[in-house]
Every structure is written in structure tokens, then in C-alpha cells.
Amino acid sequence: MKAGEEQQTIVALVLDRPGVLNRVVSMVRRRGFNITSLAVGHAEDPGMSRMTFVVEGDPPTIEQVTKQLRKLIDVVRVTDLSGENIITRELALMRVRATPATRSEIIQLVDIFRATIVDVAHDSLIIEVTGDQEKLDSLHYLLKPFGVREVMRSGRLAMARGDLGGGNGRVRRTARRLAEDEELEPQQPAIEPPS
């Protein structure tokens, strides 16, 4: 990455048609924009897909990317999430060399990172981890001394966080906080039948 450039996240809602991915990526490639991550999947509406791009560039470059994407006929909506309060996640599968002597240490690392072992072989483990880029990079770094044989990453998924105030007075809470609230709610007294 050049000085002054940052990784920016752009989300495009596109029609789910053959060739759309090729047209979008070709447009970006022809204009010399560098995509560092691309994730595509079905959207909430039938016949639509959502593409999440991570593009390197300064603000004018990112603005140019979004303008060019909006010109494509199969693109319904483009959202530049730069500067937004967003949630990002990636999924990674890592095949790590494991001997009887190193398995317990690898399992401890997996537990610390709240990852999951999804396959056990005689000489290796496959680990599934979900989180932001830093979490995946950190686990990968810590597993390197054991011998990382293979890594597959999904690419970044991103979504803007909900409104913290909103007109309806409700405030977004994390799942953990909601679970705590449910535990703390006073129990309704049992209604006794009239005598």
C-alpha cells in the first residue's frame, strides 16, 4: 500500500445474474483499482447478491470506484462504508501440523481465540476461526511455529451498525447484554386460581 492509502470497505447490492461478478471485477481491474478482499453471497431479497469489496486507495480513489460501480447496469446500490461504524468478520480455515506433543498447546490457543477444531488427522488439525482481520492474523501468527500447512480465508464481510439512538427510543445492545437482561428480569408471580 502506498502512503496516504487505506483499506476501505464498499458494499454493492447487485442482480444475481450470470456474469455480474465478472463484469464488476473487470471494471475494477481495467481502472487499476486494487481489490484486497472480495466476498459475494445471496442477499435478503431473492434474485439479489451482496458484494463486499476491500479496496486500497485514498478518498478520491474510493469515490471513483463507487461512481464506476453505480454505472454498471446490474448494480442496484453501492454503499461506501468508509468512516462508518461497521462490524466486519472473516472466516478462516487453517490446517496446522500437530504431533502428540503439540496438540494440547494448539488446543489451548484455539480455545483462547474461541475458534473450533473441525478436523483431526494423525498429523494435523483443521481450525475454523471467525473474527476481524486482526484476530485471524494473530491466530495465524501464533500457529506458525507449529507449521501452518494451508490457510483459506473468506474475505471480509461488513455491515453498518444499527442506530444507537433512533426515534423509537430503543438502543442496540449486544447479544451478551440481551442475555444478561433476560437473566435479570424479575419473574412474574404465578397467578393463583380464585378460591
The 3 state secondary structure assigned to the chain is CCCCCEEEEEEEEEECCCCHHHHHHHHHHHCCCEEEEEEEEECCCCCEEEEEEEEEECHHHHHHHHHHHHHCCCEEEEEECCCCCEEEEEEEEEEEECCCCCHHHHHHHHHHCCCEEEEECCCEEEEEEEECHHHHHHHHHHHHHHCEEEEEECCCEEEECCCCCCCCCCCCCCHHHHHHHHHHCCCCCCCCCCC
Write the CATH number for 97: 3.30.70.1150
pLDDT of residue 3: 56
Please tell me whether residues 11 and 79 are part of one structural domain: yes
Residue 117 is placed in which grid cell?
477444531
Assigned domain for 97 exists: yes
170 pLDDT tier (thresholds 50, 70, 90): very low
User: Of the residues 62, 84, 106, which one is the last residue of a structural domain?
Assistant: 84
Please tell me whether residues 62 and 128 are part of one structural domain: no
User: Which positions ≥6 away from 86 have C-beta within 8 Å?
Assistant: 9, 158, 159, 160, 161
Please tell me whether residues 65 and 115 are part of one structural domain: no
- Of the given ranges (74-78, 139-143, 185-189), which has the lowest mean pLDDT? 185-189
User: Of the residues 33, 63, 84, which one is the last residue of a structural domain?
Assistant: 84
Assigned domain for 194 exists: no
pLDDT of residue 78: 92
Domain, as residue range, for 12: 6-84
Q: Higher pLDDT residue, 7 or 148? A: 148
pLDDT of residue 83: 81
- Of the given ranges (71-80, 152-161, 180-189), which has the lowest mean pLDDT? 180-189
Assigned domain for 184 exists: no
User: Of the residues 64, 84, 104, which one is the last residue of a structural domain?
Assistant: 84
Structurally, the chain folds into a number of domains equal to 2
Please tell me whether residues 54 and 16 are part of one structural domain: yes
pLDDT of residue 31: 78
30 pLDDT tier (thresholds 50, 70, 90): confident
Please tell me whether residues 21 and 78 are part of one structural domain: yes
Q: CA 38 to CA 12: how far, in whole Å?
A: 11
Please tell me whether residues 77 and 94 are part of one structural domain: no
Residue 51 is placed in which grid cell?
458484494
pLDDT of residue 28: 82
Assigned domain for 123 exists: yes
